[in-house]
Chain A
Amino acid sequence: MENDETSELSPADALASTRAGREAIARRIRVPWQWDAGEAVSIGIFMALIAYTSPPWTTMVISGWAIVFLGMVEARRRRTGIVAGGNTRRTFDPLHLVVLVVTLGVFTLGMIAGARWWDGIPVVTAVIAAGVILGGYRWINRRAVARVLAGS
């Protein structure tokens, strides 16, 4: 088997084979926007609920959301068949951190502003945060697909 495949394989053919492999991975990691929207909306709802609940309900909201969110992450992993823990150079995009910081910043500002001025502010900030996450996730996904296809 090995000899049959290696004997006539030129360097150009070999590189073409690697490109085919990268294209297969790119097809797998290309996430439909509905998946990202689902995660973004779930985080937005969670943020809004957290702003209007107090213990012991807060714990229940956090637990319930964690189960839903982890379920979504696992469903995405099963769909792609790929494990991308984000702890290697290949799969980690620093943009993840930017999205995280911006989202937490928006959430914190919403909580502070909601306590001082208007009760509805946390809902507005939750919507903004969901938008940031959706935009960020789509951008990260496009970058990942482009990076895989480029083989860089």
Chain B
Amino acid sequence: MELQLHTFGRISEITGQSILAVQACSDVSAVREWLEATYPLIRKVPYQVAVNRKIVKENVQLHPNDELAVLPPFAGG
């Protein structure tokens, strides 16, 4: 199962792109592990994950066509 992951702000800076293809992740925890293993700098950023445009705090099972987003906080004003 390949899922699309949209990144924002500091996360996009670290990954170098704003859309990533994520392979073989059955739940949100697996996505977090894959992200942090592939881009270790992300571990320092307090990001949240949204599934189908809902910010989720618990570990949610993923399904084909789910839309993932990784949201870091913004400071600027």
Co-complex (A, B) = no
Which residues from chain B sit less than 8 Å from chain A, CB to CB?
Answer: none
List chain A positions with a Cβ less than 8 A from chain B: none
